[in-house]
Amino acid sequence: MIIWIIIGMALVTAVPRFFPAFIIDRIQFPKWIDRWLNAIPYAALGALIFPGILSVKPDAPQIGIIAALAAGALAWLNLNIIIVVLGSIAAVFLMTF
């Protein structure tokens, strides 16, 4: 039973992932669609960060906000992304004493 759920999940996840490879292979987009697609990574980052980050600690959304500010500050200082990640983990760790 579980195996069929897994296979079904794999199919409905894989098809939307690989189908664009065929689309791109056949169709040349007009310039405005190229621009739209080039902006997608930044838009995706926005949509993935907020409001999701509020649920880092579901009962204390301010912890997520402070951790986001810490990550933002570290990134603003041009620190390596590993430091940004470790710094915000440390911030949450200290706030949850």
Partner 1 sequence: MMNTEAVEMPRQSRLQLVRRGAAAGFPIVLGYIPVALTYGVIAGQSGLTIAELTLMSVLVFAGAAQFLAVSMVAAGTGAIEIIIATFVLNFRHFVMSLSFMNRLRRIALKAKIPLSLGLTDETFTMSSLHKREAKEEYGSWFYASLMLTAYLSWVGGSFLGGLLGDIIPSRLSESMGVALYAMFIGLLIPSVKKHSRIAYIAVIAMAVNYVFQLWGISQGWAIVIGTLAGGLCGIWILEDEEEEV
C-alpha closest to that of 84 among 61, 62, 68: 68
What is the closest distance, in whole angstroms, from the C-beta atom of residue 89 to partner 1 in the complex? 5
The residue ranges that bind partner 1 (CB under 8 A) are 1-10, 12-14, 16-25, 29, 32, 34-53, 56-57, 64, 67-68, 70-72, 74-76, 78, 81-82, 84-93, 96
What is the closest distance, in whole angstroms, from the C-beta atom of residue 7 to partner 1 in the complex? 7
What is the closest distance, in whole angstroms, from the C-beta atom of residue 66 to partner 1 in the complex? 10
Q: For 20-44, b where at least 16 C-beta lie within 10 A, e where not — what string?
A: eeeeeeeeeeeeeeeeeeeeeeeee
